[in-house]
């Protein structure tokens, strides 16, 4: 990723919204997400007075950052979908749909079954993305984007 020269940089403190390692803008995550998903050793260093963000960059090892801290993949108890391309990595953490599951469903022509099932669970109030998914928010966007990419690849 190319970055703007320093003269054009925003005047707000950069560390607050962009990853200090890769410069990608990160979405804010709740403290409860870090409390649920950091390893015990990493959690023991958490400054609960700070605001944390999630770095979604595929090439960056940082998962969470705050003005003074960074937590990397090794500090998180689960593989991070955005950063870990293995088939066993979940796309949907709450209901355990892995990348391999999405690929298999696409091959079998029943890809829509997975997002439909997740929707049903969401409507029934069963989703726990805040404490299950490292991004701290609903997986459905990731699931739909992955399925769309698989569909496109299968038509190519």
The residues that touch Zn ion, with contacts defined as CB under 5 A, are 19, 21-22, 55, 57, 60, 62
Alpha carbons 80 and 30: distance in angstroms, whole number: 17
Residue placing its CB nearer to Zn ion in the complex, 60 or 105 = 60
46-73 residues labelled b (16+ CB within 10 A) or e (exposed): beeeeebbbbbbeebbbbbbbeebbbbe
Alpha carbons 96 and 117: distance in angstroms, whole number: 12
What's the closest the beta carbon of residue 144 comes to Zn ion, in angstroms?
24
Alpha carbons 148 and 136: distance in angstroms, whole number: 22
Alpha carbons 112 and 3: distance in angstroms, whole number: 38
What's the closest the beta carbon of residue 150 comes to Zn ion, in angstroms?
26
Residue placing its CB nearer to Zn ion in the complex, 73 or 144 = 73
Residue placing its CB nearer to Zn ion in the complex, 57 or 103 = 57
Residue placing its CB nearer to Zn ion in the complex, 19 or 36 = 19
What's the closest the beta carbon of residue 74 comes to Zn ion, in angstroms?
14
What's the closest the beta carbon of residue 62 comes to Zn ion, in angstroms?
4
């Amino acid at each position: 990723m190319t970055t703007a020269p320093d003269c054009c940089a925003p005047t707000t403190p950069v560390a607050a919204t962009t990853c200090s390692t890769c410069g990608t803008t990160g979405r804010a995550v709740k403290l409860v997400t870090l409390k649920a998903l950091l390893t015990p050793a990493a959690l023991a260093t958490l400054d609960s007075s700070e605001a944390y963000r999630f770095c979604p960059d595929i090439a960056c090892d940082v998962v969470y950052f705050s003005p003074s801290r960074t937590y990397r993949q090794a500090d998180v108890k689960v593989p991070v979908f955005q950063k870990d391309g293995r088939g066993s990595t979940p796309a949907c953490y709450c209901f355990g749909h892995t990348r391999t599951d999405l690929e298999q469903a696409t091959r079998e022509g029943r890809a829509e079954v997975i997002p439909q099932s997740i929707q049903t669970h969401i409507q029934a109030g069963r989703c726990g993305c805040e404490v299950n998914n490292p991004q701290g928010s609903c997986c459905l966007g990731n699931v739909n984007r992955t399925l769309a990419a698989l569909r496109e690849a299968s038509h190519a």
